[in-house]
Structure 1
Amino acid sequence: MASTSLTNQNIECHILTLFDKLEAMRRDASLSTSRLPMQAEVRTLEFWRSIISECLATFFYVFLACGGGASLVGSGTPPTTPNLGTALATGFAVATLTHCFGHVSGAHMNPAVTVAMATTRNISPLRAAMFVTAQCGGGIAGAALLYG
């Protein structure tokens, strides 16, 4: 019985050591990748791909979420009545768009999320400003297409 508890302690020690080493490697990798200056960042294809993907993701999100809510307008039900269809459309839209655009730009789809990411320095201020602009434009375009 004493040998099994000693073995379990050794395994736990090795696992904790492994996690510490992995965390140190992750920290070193994030420190080694320095951020590009703004002039260089604007010239990269990845920068513009992420801005376009934020615009498209927000466009589709607003179009689908408002489209799900627009079904209440013509049905004669009061707008305060909860609608399962609207909730499902919005939830599935967020899940699908996050899977589609998450690897390109992070799929923020919300200026508040972008500002929070810029505040915590996960994205650059230039990228944050461009994301907010693209999100506002995509949201306006999605609503304009839906409501005419």
Structure 2
Amino acid sequence: MPEIQVLDPHVADLIAAGEVVERPASVAKELMENAIDAGARSVTVEIAHGGLTFLRVTDDGCGIPAPQMKTAFLRHATSKLRTEYDLEAIGTLGFRGEALAAISAVSRIDVMSRTQDAPLGASLSLEGGVAGPVEQAGCPLGTTMVVRDLFYNTPARL
């Protein structure tokens, strides 16, 4: 019998991504729900090749503060829950903090975001769940997520 062992975190992320990211439409759904939860009044979705090679969701919501950009892509990172009691009063579309981590595990993502109190926005690129540096960027209030090459590193899902 094979030895029982804990999966490598990257492999676990890819498995979790399969639960959240079934196809490009599920990515668009998750990103639109995040935009609505961020208070967006306007959400624009653009796709190419059915969303497999390019999917961009732009909103005018509250934005992600630069110091929290990398944290937003960690598993179980959420702005909606603090204690177990918060689970009893969920009033948002998403709360588990799995969507961005799962999407980033199976794609290449560029995100730009600016909050109302920030004179400049911030940008971040991720590839296969690995984040680069957060950099200053000129951008409008809200968040733009560009997802490219969905399932590039998980051919079975493609």
TM range (shorter): under 0.3
Highest relative contact order (Cα 8 Å, sep 6+), 1 or 2?
A: 1
For normalisation by structure 1, the TM-score amounts to: 0.22
The structure with more helix, counted as a fraction of residues: 1
Larger radius of gyration: 1
